[in-house]
Amino acid sequence: MRSHARVVVIGGGVVGVSTLYHLAKKGWTDVVLFERHELTSGSTWHAAGLLPLFNMSYSVGQIHKYSVRLYKELEAETGQDVGLRTVGNIRLAMTLDRLDEYRQYASVARTIGVNVEFLTPDQVKEIWPLAVKDGLLGAIRHPDDGYIQPADLTQALARGARGRGAEICQQTVVHAIEQLPSGEWRVTTNQGVTDCEHVVSATGNFARNTGAMVGLDVPVLPVQHQYIVTEPHESIQARHRDGLPEMGVLRESDGSWYMREEAGGLLLGPYEKGAPACYLNGPSAESKYELFESDLERLAPHIESAIRRVPLFGELGVKQTYNGAIAYTPDGSPIIGPAWGVRNFWLNEGHSFGITAAGGAGWQLAEWIVEGEPTIDMLGVEPRRFGDYASSAYLKVKNEEAYANVFTIHYPDEERPAARPHRTAPCYERMRDRGAVFGQKFGWERPNWFAPVDTRQEDHWSFRRSRWFEHVGNECRNVMDNVGILDMTAFAKARVSGPGAANFLNSVVANQIPSLDGRISLCHAFNARGGVHSEFTILREAHDSFYLVSAGVFQRLDHDFLWRQMPTDGSLSFKDLTGSMGVLVIAGPNSRKLLQRVCDVNLSNESFPWLTGCEGTVGMSATKLLRLNFVGELGWELHHPIEYQNSIFDTLMSAGEDLGLAPFGIRAMDAMRIEKSYRMIGTEMSIEYAALESGLDRFVRLEKGDFTGRAGLLAWQQQGFKNAFVTLAVDGPDDADALGNNPLFKDGDMVGRTTSGNYGFRLQQSLALGMLNPTLADEGTLLEIDILGERYPCKVIAESPYDPKNLRLRA
Ligand SMILES: Cc1cc2nc3c(=O)[nH]c(=O)nc-3n(C[C@H](O)[C@H](O)[C@H](O)COP(=O)(O)OP(=O)(O)OC[C@H]3O[C@@H](n4cnc5c(N)ncnc54)[C@H](O)[C@@H]3O)c2cc1C
């Protein structure tokens, strides 16, 4: 056993072996994989081997697409047959909402280059003659999709890795991982000790145990999944004898099951409600090739549904059932990337479609380790998208929920109910009593919109304008005409202070940090290539003290990003204030009048201009006032010690009664930020776009000296930009707006994609933000946009169509 390696990969399932393969392929051949038993002895051996390209996530979609392409080439490269059967995959639609989901998905697929076609019920019948058409409205088909033999795939990747010099050690159990003073890792196994620069954890159902070795609470917990393989049937065997093609994979999403041919019979895999999380304390030390006892009763409704669709299934005897563990995360997507709070420790865990994802996950993680950055936007699979709130008890209910919802319709405004409320701001009850319909982000409950009193406080999810549309419109109009109050306690907040604070911050953000006390700057932090990683609002509280605010959902990501670059010479300190500071936003033309009634600070434009902040008292409570907001109106963010929130809230509500003060929610905020062309991380700003492609020119101070990503951005600029940020006026359908990921066309060619869309209630105009071929980005360019499968005219318009001169917010 080697005493030193550049990378140790722990786990010999398909994901770990793919990571090893891709590291070796990128030229890091001094890499070793430790597997406690044999390759594939975890979850990989019993997987059904399906390779579904379908995924609503931009990140996961690209990962799956890469995998399928790689798997097609592996046999030629390694000589190992991987049993790939490109038989196509049909997903049935039985409701109009399901068809909308497929139409929205087809937009995502088109923008990432995945081939998908729509079928009529008759066409389904032609391909799957054993299925009946009852209740079918249509279907989509991925012709490039199919299934593979997971064990053979793993062996092929292992062969490819070994051929490039990588080593695989089986029967090698990792017992301990410790970081040495040098920063290297020491990995202790039953066979000896290996020191290395990087550790990759790809341990499937053992993810939490492996994480615990380095003090990480990894948000992964497996759930049981079953599938049934039947005896062969003469009519299927006859098809083969007659030389007819395999029927392919059939998915009845509304019945929550998949089916394919298997050795002349059928294989059925349901995603049922009530499947239990398992391995709550990790698998046992003896666990290998482990299966649980089957529970077919739990599957009964899905078996009945399968028989209704494919009556022949009812005639088939069960040959074998499999009930194994699938690793899950609360949102069902894997975690691929760096761990938080430790250096050079990487996670490739939580894979519920690991056979499909392994190729792409190994590819991107290897890029990240070797090059320092992934090449695709990995936010959807970022390990740091979860936080401390994801305790093991939380994971149990949330992961069971994620499993049960694999086949439910993934509405853009979907908010799942399990494990809620979990993290609440003090004003939660007050907002609820005023009609708030809540959503959840990073564990926090946030009002999404407000139902009028005496109506149901219930969402109605849809791909189209829904029950909330009218009420969100009223909230926006009230903010435009009067004044609104919004709970933004979920913001990530931190203080960076000390003699080194200013230099440090200037070295990690592209804008000039505020030079005077009480000034605020909007600052973007780039990755090394010059794409946008994080956005911080920075208030200079004092000469050597800075208050940082960033998106709540990115708390762990943003704070970890800063931590990684901080000097260790004691010249600054970092304090997370997220849990101790609450935030209420008041916005609208009456906000000054309202606030002045209850606040001891002079709020006049002269003494409190836009983009400044100071300490004051609101009602009886110490408050930090920041004059800015994300909706483009006169307004202030009130940051306060969290225990005073209700005192401040009550003070404002009673002082604002005659001024039309009413709460508004996140959906109204989103509609208003699009009218101002305000970009968001993960949509308009991402590492896939250079900061200047995202139109951040006025926030990028190339002349200020070096900062992270400056050289990368300049190099990108030299190569030439392929995208330009645009705002679009959409002449779309009466009942729907762009949702993001809508393809944009010029003369029939796809020339860009939207990143967000919404209805601008203040402008009474459907709007979208997007990325477009720069040659077409001039104001006035006429384009077409795909919304839910139909094309509509749209036009490039000037940025910030609502109050372009910012007169209202500077009023
Ligand atoms: C019934 C069933 C059907 C499925 N069907 C599909 C499908 O059709 N398509 C699809 O894409 N996915 C499917 N899956 C999911 C798929 O099986 C998993 O996502 C995938 O196998 C995960 O691979 P992995 O490498 O992450 O984990 P694993 O295969 O579990 O590998 C992890 C490895 O790490 C090793 N390990 C753990 N701890 C240590 C340690 N301390 N030291 C050394 N080694 C260690 C383990 O022994 C194990 O071999 C299915 C799962 C089940 C249960």
> Of all protein residues, whose CA lies closest to atom 14 belonging to ligand 1?
47
Length of the chain: 811
Among 46, 203, 323, the mutation site with the greatest number of ligand 1 atoms within 8 A of its Cβ is 203
E strand or H helix at 756:
strand 749-760
Cβ–ligand 1 distance for 107 under 6 Å, the answer no
Could you tell me the distance, in angstroms and rounded to a whole number, from the CA of residue 3 to the centre of ligand 1? 27
Q: What one-letter code names the amino acid at 649?
A: F
Could you tell me the distance, in angstroms and rounded to a whole number, from the CA of residue 13 to the centre of ligand 1? 5
204/329 Cα distance (integer angstroms): 11
Longest dimension (CA), the chain: 87
Nearest by Cα to 203 from 162, 239, 175, 231? 175
> Of all protein residues, whose CA lies closest to atom 31 belonging to ligand 1?
13
Q: In this predicted structure, what is the pLDDT of residue 43?
A: 96
233/314 Cα distance (integer angstroms): 11
Cβ–ligand 1 distance for 678 under 6 Å, the answer no
189/627 Cα distance (integer angstroms): 56
464/736 Cα distance (integer angstroms): 4
Could you tell me the distance, in angstroms and rounded to a whole number, from the CA of residue 305 to the centre of ligand 1? 28
Closest-lying ligand 1 atom to the alpha carbon of residue 17: 25
414/101 Cα distance (integer angstroms): 12
pTM confidence score: 0.97
> Of all protein residues, whose CA lies closest to atom 27 belonging to ligand 1?
204
Could you tell me the distance, in angstroms and rounded to a whole number, from the CA of residue 418 to the centre of ligand 1? 26
Q: What is the pLDDT of residues 112-123, one digit of tens each?
A: 899 999 999 999
Among 44, 170, 228, the mutation site with the greatest number of ligand 1 atoms within 8 A of its Cβ is 44
Ranges of residues in the chain whose predicted pLDDT is under 70: none
65/739 Cα distance (integer angstroms): 22
Closest-lying ligand 1 atom to the alpha carbon of residue 14: 25
> Of all protein residues, whose CA lies closest to atom 19 belonging to ligand 1?
354
For strands 483-487 and 661-663, give the pairing. parallel
Q: In this predicted structure, what is the pLDDT of residue 55?
A: 83
> Do residues 510 and 710 touch, judged by C-beta distance below 8 A?
yes
Cβ–ligand 1 distance for 767 under 6 Å, the answer no
Q: What is the pLDDT of residues 145-162, one digit of tens each?
A: 899 999 999 999 999 999
Among 221, 355, 381, the mutation site with the greatest number of ligand 1 atoms within 8 A of its Cβ is 355
Cβ–ligand 1 distance for 154 under 6 Å, the answer no
Cβ–ligand 1 distance for 291 under 6 Å, the answer no
Cβ–ligand 1 distance for 224 under 6 Å, the answer no
**Contacts of residue 381, Cβ cutoff 8 Å, sequence gap at least 6:** 57, 59, 60, 63, 333, 334, 335, 336, 337, 361
- Helices 501-508/555-565 angle, 10° precision: 110
Q: In this predicted structure, what is the pLDDT of residue 340?
A: 98
Closest-lying ligand 1 atom to the alpha carbon of residue 226: 1
Cβ–ligand 1 distance for 326 under 6 Å, the answer yes
Could you tell me the distance, in angstroms and rounded to a whole number, from the CA of residue 154 to the centre of ligand 1? 11
Cβ–ligand 1 distance for 8 under 6 Å, the answer no
42/33 Cα distance (integer angstroms): 15
Closest-lying ligand 1 atom to the alpha carbon of residue 355: 11
Nearest by Cα to 678 from 626, 727, 729? 727
* CA 319 remoteness from chain centre: 39
- The DSSP-derived string for 213-246 is HTT-------EEEEEEEEPP-HHHHHHHHTTPPP
Cβ–ligand 1 distance for 98 under 6 Å, the answer no
Q: In this predicted structure, what is the pLDDT of residue 60?
A: 85
What are the structure tokens assigned to 392, written together?
A: 């093991």
Closest-lying ligand 1 atom to the alpha carbon of residue 49: 8
Cβ–ligand 1 distance for 251 under 6 Å, the answer no
Cβ–ligand 1 distance for 36 under 6 Å, the answer yes
Phi, psi for residue 107 in degrees, rounded to 5: -65, -50
> Of all protein residues, whose CA lies closest to atom 49 belonging to ligand 1?
42
Could you tell me the distance, in angstroms and rounded to a whole number, from the CA of residue 71 to the centre of ligand 1? 18
For residue 683, the tally of other CB atoms under 10 A from its CB is 20
Cβ–ligand 1 distance for 497 under 6 Å, the answer no
Alpha helices in 656-805, H assignment, sequence order: 666-675, 710-719
E strand or H helix at 146:
none
Alpha helices in 437-500, H assignment, sequence order: 468-481
Cβ–ligand 1 distance for 353 under 6 Å, the answer yes
What are the structure tokens assigned to 554, written together?
A: 């990115």
